[in-house]
Amino acid sequence: MPQVTLTVNGTKHTVEVEARTLLVELLREQLRLTGTHVGCDTSQCGACVVHMGGDSIKACTILAVQCEGADVTTIEGLAKADGTLHPMQEAFREYHALQCGFCTPGMVMSAIDLVNKHPNGLTEQEIREGLEGNICRCTGYHNIVKAIAAAADVMQGRRSELARAAE
Amino acid sequence: MNVVAPFEGIGASVRRKEDLRFLSGRGHYTDDINRPGQAHAYILRSPHAHAAINAIETAAAQAMPGVVAIFTGADLAAIGGLPCGWQIHNKDGSPMAEPKHPVLAEGKVRHVGDPVAVVIAETRQQARDAAEAIAVDYTPLPAVATMQAALAPGAAQMHEAAPGNLCYDWHIGDKAVLDAAFAKAHKVVTFETTNNRLVPNAMEPRAAVGDFDPQSGDYTLYTTSQNPHVIRLLMGAFVLNIPESKLRVVAPDVGGGFGSKIYHYAEEAIVTWAAGRVKRPVKWTADRTESFMSDAHGRDHVSKAELAVDKDGKILGLKVHTYANMGAYLSTFAPCVPTYLYATLLAGVYTTPVIYAEVKAVFTNTVPVDAYRGAGRPEATYLLERLMDVAAAEIGMDRVEFRRKNFIPVDAFPYQTPVALQYDSGNYFATLDAALEAADWKGFEARRAAAKAKGKLRGIGISTYLEACGIAPSAVVGSLGARAGLYEVGTIRVHPTGSVTVLTGTHSHGQGHETTLAQLVADRLGVPIANVDIVHGDTAKVPFGMGTYGSRSLAVGGSAMFKAMDKIIAKGKRIAAHLMEASVEDVEFDRGTFRVAGTDKTKTLTDISLAAYVPHNYPIEEIEPGLEETAFYDPKNFTYPGGCHIAEVEIDTETGKVSMVNFTAVDDVGRVINPMIVEGQVQGGVAQGIGQALLESAVYDADGQLISGSMMDYTMPRADDLAPVSVATHTTLCTHNPLGVKGCGEVGAIGSPPAVINAVVDALKEYGVKHIEMPATPAKIWNIINGGRKAA
């Protein structure tokens, strides 16, 4: 069987995979990183989004063997070692941007990349369009959009709505 | 220093306790479970809508790498079919047709996706590969893909036990009284519509892991369920003949349900039974394609309604005729959806004095249909609230005034409708007025004109709705054909040092019970929510329960907890009386403190729990040690949330695309425990309602092939399809449960579809449009705008 060596959340792994194994299967079934989810089979839902080399990708749409030498971050790798949440995770909690939690890991990973790719901030419409590749069935997206806007402020060093409200 | 703890009780928007694990990738969903020695199941499904199975050849597949076992319907012949939980009776009193629903097909397949065989292999891929090597010899039969086709003379017959493909022909109300009312009508307004078939599409596909312990003979099923005890009962007693004591059902974190995970599905029985046969754990996880063709679908009604009105615009009577699609087999609660959850809601918020409804339920070669968020109530609300607009237009009355004129008065509660239900409380004028104000209804015509100037068509629509939830009084539903009681169970376990574990028979799959239910304990017993753990979803831990659906968790499950807390407080007072050498009648309790009335003698809940578990100074002859109480609560009535939804839309005349501009919801859900969570529930429900109105539809071709069978074809609402939803609540308390709560999970999906379509019709009124069927797609609207001409 082919071998692939990749770094996931800072740890290097060498794994034997079938040639047809998808990255998401490698993560979930071989590395037991079950935070990354599978919600569809047509690359529509975005529950499986992870970061590879800093870009968000759908882990259901790339073969594990294509990930040789890759640097992958999953939802499990976002918080700091001391447990401090990433500002995006914190904002999702603060703004009630999750209900069942199933789309949440992919939504958070997409949102972080979306913010990173817009260093000058995003409009509400840009956030909504930027979430085109992620489906949530619970929230109606309203609170997800608010959370991303708030997290963008924190990530980009602007005074957030929250901070303003507290003052 | 006086430290004031943040208020965490009833009314506080406490942030959710469950979020940390979901946000850090530590949720625990069924597909995350892997048992030692586990094998994997793949289910081979029918590609035909209707076909005879002549032979199934499995030898080649059996020889494939990794294959452990292959089973077909013949292997499962000794086990029962999937049971139906509700029996409806026909007009003539005879019971409905109830054909067998085999776990694996027996001689015939009846819908695309009907399970035919299961392959158990070492890996999922090996099981899938082997399934491709199974040769099934089918003789395709003519399929009936629509209700019209199924009821046509000479139609293909699906079940021997259901002649004419008819499941039942049911009615409610007094037709003679109705006819008399119609004879006096100034005008009779007729409206016909189809309520589009939907695919629930919870983001987590269904999954199941069966486990068997050969030493003890115990079975365990891990499953994506909204009601594990119900699955244990149905599967144990009716399908596999396993006593409850030998069967544990666990529903861990579940990624959304919306009704689709209530039912007992074939795959649950297959993995449990197969685990016993192969003596290994067996895991199955649906891919999304399987979800589309095996999860119960929702809605799918064809209806005609007639409304009799007098010359002042007062409603005299309502007559409804509905065809309801059951799909190929009866799913667990399918028969009650278009009857007791539908026709009983046709009074809505109006004083309609007489209602007659008849419903024919029809088998077709499609996926079974059952409850989906709202279940029957969205269908009733859509029919009624569209009819109200159509009628107002026909009699030349303002649509808001027409509604107001027919509202049930504020002082009329309890209000007995002509279709069985008795509403306990509500104020429809208040929710209407609040919504009109919040949506700036008065200012709309200026916004319409401004949009027109930009070449856009703007419309506004209203829906004043009501639903019945908090399901339901056991004796009542039993008399109506339910084969279960619908009480709920709660256990309050106060530990020796004062922390609390709650065992609830309800199940959380997005609703936030771990927070809201903890708030009930914080409010009453004064225990910080950090010290309150909510346990649900495991028949080995929770005494019993009926699960979560019909917006019942708080109204029924919360009330059971309330009763259990009553018992905790009563016992605590007796212990406190002993410790403080007072009479039990003199002991008062308030949020964690027992006090001898009129004195400064107090004991904390922790003092009492410690005494109860370390009973040194304790009236052991009179009071048992320990501080744990269980209560079963059977509701006295349904609860009746209601309110007003207003949708504002803008149509691009070039493309026909409808954009949501604004959505206002003012709902009366009774007492609100956590406003943040209620708002989130309403927003999510409204999103699903907008999805039904504008985007979603399960489409079959004439041969019974599901055309919209993937997320590329079935239009799920995405972030840029929706607009901000403004949510407000206006409370009248439920009068018959101790919390005063009504339920909030379904209101969004029930109230919103007619508001959206009423807005679309309003936007298109200059084109003479009286109605547009859901979903109001750009193609339909473009054709209207372009006078029915087809695109060149």
Q: For chain A, first and last CA: distance in Å?
A: 60
Which chain A positions have a beta carbon within 8 Å of B16's beta carbon? 93, 96
Phi and psi angles of residue B319, each rounded to the nearest 5 degrees, phi first: -125, 130
The pLDDT value recorded for residue B628 is 98
* CATH code, A109: 1.10.150.120
Clarify whether residues A49 and A115 are in a common domain.
no
Which of B208, B337, B192 minimizes the C-alpha distance to B275?
B208
A138 touches chain B (CB under 8 A): yes
What is residue B82's three-state secondary structure?
coil
* CATH code, A12: 3.10.20.30
B33-141+203-256+261-294 and B301-471+637-791: identical CATH topology? no
Question: In this complex, do A92 and B19 lie within 8 Å of one another by their Cβ atoms?
Answer: yes
Q: With 90 as the cut, is the pLDDT of residue A158 above it?
A: no
Question: In this complex, do B258 and A96 lie within 8 Å of one another by their Cβ atoms?
Answer: no
Clarify whether residues A67 and A20 are in a common domain.
yes
Percentage of chain B lying above the pLDDT 90 cut: 97
For A112-149, give the secondary structure using H, E and C. HHHHHCCCCCCCHHHHHHHCCCCCCCCCCCHHHHHHHH
> pLDDT tens across B305-350, in order?
999 999 999 999 999 999 999 999 999 999 999 999 999 999 999 9
Q: State the Cα angle at B664 between B658 and B670, rounded to 5°.
A: 140
pLDDT-based confidence at B792, cuts 50/70/90?
Answer: very low
Question: In this complex, do B27 and A45 lie within 8 Å of one another by their Cβ atoms?
Answer: no
CA–CA min distance A128, chain B (Å): 5
Clarify whether residues A110 and A134 are in a common domain.
yes
The pLDDT value recorded for residue A86 is 97
Nearest residue of chain B to residue A138 (CA atoms): B684
CA–CA min distance A45, chain B (Å): 8
What is residue B202's three-state secondary structure?
coil
Task: Give the rounded distance of the alpha carbon of B282 from its chain centre.
Answer: 29
Token pair listed for B629 = 């109480």
Residue A82: inside a domain, yes or no? no
pTM of the predicted model as reported, rounded to 2 decimal places: 0.97
Residue A12: inside a domain, yes or no? yes
Average pLDDT over residues A82-102: 97
Q: Closest to A101 (Cβ–Cβ): which among B15, B253, B676?
A: B253
B255 touches chain A (CB under 8 A): yes
Residue A7: inside a domain, yes or no? yes
What is residue B407's three-state secondary structure?
strand
Which residue of A95, A99, A139 is the best one to mutate when testing the B interface, meaning the one whose CB has the most B CBs within 10 A? A99
Instruction: Establish, for the pair of chains A and B, how many residue pairs have beta carbons separated by less than 8 Å.
Output: 176
Neighbours of B756 (CB within 10 A): 29
Nearest residue of chain B to residue A37 (CA atoms): B204
The pLDDT value recorded for residue A161 is 58
Average pLDDT over residues B670-694: 98
Q: Which CATH architecture has domain B301-471+637-791?
A: 2-Layer Sandwich (3.30)
> pLDDT tens across B357-374, in order?
999 999 999 999 999 999
B716 touches chain A (CB under 8 A): yes
pLDDT-based confidence at A160, cuts 50/70/90?
Answer: low
> pLDDT tens across A50-70, in order?
999 999 999 999 999 999 999
Phi and psi angles of residue B99, each rounded to the nearest 5 degrees, phi first: -65, 155
Alpha carbon separation from B412 to B110, B425, B669 (Å, rounded): 49, 9, 19
The pLDDT value recorded for residue B410 is 97
Tokens 């320990």 belong to B626
Average pLDDT over residues B468-495: 94
Q: Which of A77, A96, A118 is the last residue of a domain?
A: A77
Which chain B positions have a beta carbon within 8 Å of A36's beta carbon? 25
Between residues 489 and 518 of chain B, which touch chain A (CB distance below 8 Å)? Answer: 509-512
Clarify whether residues A119 and A149 are in a common domain.
yes
The pLDDT value recorded for residue B1 is 42
CA distance B33 to B53: 35
Percentage of chain A lying above the pLDDT 90 cut: 93
Clarify whether residues A69 and A112 are in a common domain.
no
Q: With 90 as the cut, is the pLDDT of residue B685 above it?
A: yes
The pLDDT value recorded for residue B430 is 98
> pLDDT tens across B570-597, in order?
999 999 999 999 999 999 999 999 999 9
B687 touches chain A (CB under 8 A): yes
CA distance A107 to A87: 14
Which chain B positions have a beta carbon within 8 Å of A127's beta carbon? 719
Which residue of A86, A138, A143, A145 is the best one to mutate when testing the B interface, meaning the one whose CB has the most B CBs within 10 A? A138
Which chain B positions have a beta carbon within 8 Å of A134's beta carbon? 718-719
Tell me which of A163-167, B79-83, B446-450 is least confident: A163-167
Residue B419 near residue B356, CB atoms below 8 Å:
no
Token pair listed for B176 = 């003679």
CA distance B567 to B633: 13
Q: Closest to B720 (Cβ–Cβ): which among A38, A128, A143?
A: A128
Which of A68, A71, A90, A76 minimizes the C-alpha distance to A150?
A90
Mean of all residue pLDDT scores within chain B:
97
One CATH from 3.30.70.20, 3.30.2130.10, 2.60.120.10, 3.90.1170.50 for B33-141+203-256+261-294: 3.90.1170.50
Mean of all residue pLDDT scores within chain A:
95
Q: Closest to A104 (Cβ–Cβ): which among B23, B511, B686?
A: B23
Q: Closest to B23 (Cβ–Cβ): which among A44, A92, A138?
A: A92
> pLDDT tens across B700-732, in order?
999 999 999 999 999 999 999 998 899 999 999
CA distance B329 to B162: 11
Which residue of B203, B285, B688 is the best one to mutate when testing the A interface, meaning the one whose CB has the most A CBs within 10 A? B203
CA–CA min distance A21, chain B (Å): 9
Average pLDDT over residues A15-26: 97
DSSP B248: E
Task: Give the rounded distance of the alpha carbon of B481 from its chain centre.
Answer: 19
Clarify whether residues A97 and A148 are in a common domain.
yes
Q: Closest to B712 (Cβ–Cβ): which among A42, A104, A105?
A: A42
CA distance B394 to B315: 13
Residue A93: inside a domain, yes or no? yes
Torsion on CA atoms A62, A66, A71, A77, rounded to nearest 10: 40
Q: For chain B, first and last CA: distance in Å?
A: 79
B256 touches chain A (CB under 8 A): yes
Q: With 70 as the cut, is the pLDDT of residue B675 above it?
A: yes
pLDDT-based confidence at B6, cuts 50/70/90?
Answer: confident
Q: Which of A21, A48, A77 is the last residue of a domain?
A: A77
A40 touches chain B (CB under 8 A): yes
Question: In this complex, do A140 and B725 lie within 8 Å of one another by their Cβ atoms?
Answer: yes
Which chain B positions have a beta carbon within 8 Å of A34's beta carbon? 25, 27, 29, 31-32
Q: Closest to B683 (Cβ–Cβ): which among A41, A94, A140?
A: A140
Which of B354, B31, B592 minimizes the C-alpha distance to A38?
B31
Which of A20, A14, A11 minimizes the C-alpha distance to A72?
A11
Residue B719 near residue A128, CB atoms below 8 Å:
yes
Clarify whether residues A94 and A137 are in a common domain.
yes
Question: In this complex, do A76 and B24 lie within 8 Å of one another by their Cβ atoms?
Answer: yes
Helix axes B399-406, B377-395, angle to 10 degrees: 120
* Domain count across chain A: 2
Q: Closest to B19 (Cβ–Cβ): which among A28, A37, A98?
A: A98
Alpha carbon separation from B155 to B11, B164, B264, B300, B308 (Å, rounded): 57, 8, 30, 20, 35
CA distance B314 to B786: 37
Range of the domain at A91: 87-166
Residue A28: inside a domain, yes or no? yes
CA distance B194 to B302: 4
Average pLDDT over residues B497-515: 97
> pLDDT tens across B375-420, in order?
999 999 999 999 999 999 999 999 999 999 999 999 999 999 999 9
> pLDDT tens across B107-145, in order?
999 999 999 999 999 999 999 999 999 999 999 999 999
CA distance B231 to B742: 26
pLDDT-based confidence at B462, cuts 50/70/90?
Answer: very high
CA–CA min distance A103, chain B (Å): 7
Which chain B positions have a beta carbon within 8 Å of A102's beta carbon? 27, 29, 202-204, 255-256
B65 touches chain A (CB under 8 A): no
Q: Which of A13, A43, A77 is the last residue of a domain?
A: A77
Average pLDDT over residues A24-46: 97
Clarify whether residues A65 and A92 are in a common domain.
no
Clarify whether residues A109 and A153 are in a common domain.
yes
CA distance B235 to B221: 10
Residue B457 near residue B436, CB atoms below 8 Å:
no
Q: Closest to A45 (Cβ–Cβ): which among B683, B685, B711?
A: B711
Q: Closest to A100 (Cβ–Cβ): which among B21, B255, B711?
A: B255
Q: Buried b vs exposed e over B715-744: b needs ≥16 C-beta within 10 Å? A: bbbbbbbbbbbbbbbbbbebebbebbbbbb
CA–CA min distance A152, chain B (Å): 17
Between residues 71 and 130 of chain B, which touch chain A (CB distance below 8 Å)? Answer: 125
Average pLDDT over residues A37-44: 97
Give the sign of the dihedral formed by CA B203, CA B206, CA B212, CA B216. Answer: positive
Q: With 60 as the cut, is the pLDDT of residue B789 above it?
A: no
Phi and psi angles of residue B297, each rounded to the nearest 5 degrees, phi first: -85, 175
Residue A56: inside a domain, yes or no? yes
Q: Closest to B26 (Cβ–Cβ): which among A35, A127, A144?
A: A35
Q: Closest to B719 (Cβ–Cβ): which among A36, A79, A128?
A: A128
The pLDDT value recorded for residue A165 is 56
Map out the domains of chain B as residue ranges.
Answer: 6-27+487-633, 33-141+203-256+261-294, 301-471+637-791
Which chain A positions have a beta carbon within 8 Å of B711's beta carbon? 40, 42, 44-45, 135
CA distance A129 to A147: 15
Instruction: Tell me the Ramachandran region of residue A131: left when phi exceeds 0, alpha when psi lies from -120 to 50, beta otherwise.
Output: alpha
What is residue B614's three-state secondary structure?
coil
> pLDDT tens across B253-300, in order?
999 999 999 999 999 999 999 999 999 999 999 999 999 999 999 999
Decide if the complex's ipTM is over 0.90. yes
Clarify whether residues A159 and A98 are in a common domain.
yes
Which chain A positions have a beta carbon within 8 Å of B748's beta carbon? 140
Residue A124: inside a domain, yes or no? yes
Percentages helix, strand, coil for chain A, rounded to the nearest 5? 40, 15, 45
Q: With 70 as the cut, is the pLDDT of residue A162 above it?
A: no
CA distance B72 to B58: 9
Question: In this complex, do A142 and B683 lie within 8 Å of one another by their Cβ atoms?
Answer: yes
A36 touches chain B (CB under 8 A): yes
Between residues 104 and 133 of chain A, which touch chain B (CB distance below 8 Å)? Answer: 104-105, 108, 125, 127-129, 131-132
- At the topology level, CATH places domain B6-27+487-633 in Aldehyde Oxidoreductase; domain 4 (3.30.365)
B254 touches chain A (CB under 8 A): yes
